[in-house]
Chain A
Amino acid sequence: MSEPRAPRPRTSSGTRLVLALVLSLVVGSVSTVAALAAVVYHSGTVDVEVFQQGGEHVSISVPSTLVTAAVKLVPGRVFADAADEIGPYWPACRAACRELVRAPDGVYVSVTGPDVEVRVAKEDDRLRIDVQDGGDRVHVSVPVKSVLALVDKLAPA
Chain B
Amino acid sequence: MLKRSLIAGVLLILATGLTAASDDLWLHVFVQEDGESGETVRVNVPIAFVEQVLPLIENEHVRDGKVMIPDHAELEGVDLRGIWEAVRDAADGEFVTVEGRDENVRVAKQDGMLLVNVDDDGEKVRVRLPLEVVDAAFSGESNQVDVVAALRVLGETYPSHDIVTVEEGSTTVRVWIDTRQEMDL
CB distance from B159 to the nearest CB of A (A): 22
Is B170 an interface residue, CB under 8 A from the partner?
no
- The prevalent SS among residues of B at the interface is mixed
Q: A95-B53, A104-B181 are in contact. Are A109 and B42 (CB under 8 A)?
A: yes
Q: What distance in Å separates the Cβ of A37 from its nearest Cβ neighbour in chain B?
A: 34
Within 8 A of B (CB), among A77-117: 88-89, 91-92, 94-96, 98-100, 103-104, 106-114, 116
**Nearest CB in chain B: distance from A94 CB, A:** 8
Asked if B37 is at the interface (CB within 8 A of a chain A CB), the reply is yes
**Are B57's CB and A92's CB within 8 A?**
yes
Query: Are A110 and B42 CB-contacts (below 8 A) given A99-B48, A104-B181?
Result: yes
**Are A103 and B46 neighbours in the complex by a CB distance under 8 Å?**
yes
Using C-beta atoms within 8 Å of the partner chain, give the interface range for chain B: 20 to 34
Complex contact A108–B59 (CB within 8 A)? no
Q: Please give, as numbers and ranges, the residues of chain A lying within 8 Å of B58 by CB-CB distance.
A: 88
Complex A-B: 21 CB contacts under 8 Å: A88-B58, A91-B56, A92-B56, A95-B52, A95-B56, A99-B48, A100-B49, A104-B181, A106-B182, A107-B42, A108-B43, A108-B45, A109-B41, A109-B43, A110-B40, A110-B41, A110-B42, A111-B40, A113-B37, A113-B38, A114-B38
The A interface, classified by DSSP as helix, strand, loop or mixed, is: mixed
Indicate whether A96 sits within 8 Å of B44 (C-beta atoms), given known contacts A89-B57, A106-B181, A112-B39: no
| Distance to closest chain A CB from B145 (angstroms) | 18
Residues from chain A with Cβ under 8 Å of B49 in the complex: 96, 99-100, 103
A residues apposed to B, CB below 8 Å = 88-89, 91-92, 94-96, 98-100, 103-104, 106-114, 116
Measured in the bound complex, the distance between the Cα atoms of B57 and A96 in whole Å is 11
Tell me if B36 counts as interface (CB < 8 A to partner A). Answer: yes
Contact A113 B56 (CB under 8 A): no
Give chain A nearest CB distance to B100 CB in angstroms. 35
Q: Do B40 and A112 touch (CB < 8 A)?
A: yes
Interface core residue of A91, A99, A103, A116 (most chain B CB under 10 Å): A99
Chain B neighbourhood of A111, CB < 8 A: 39-42
Interface string of B9-47 (1 = CB under 8 A from A): 000000000000000000000000000111111111110
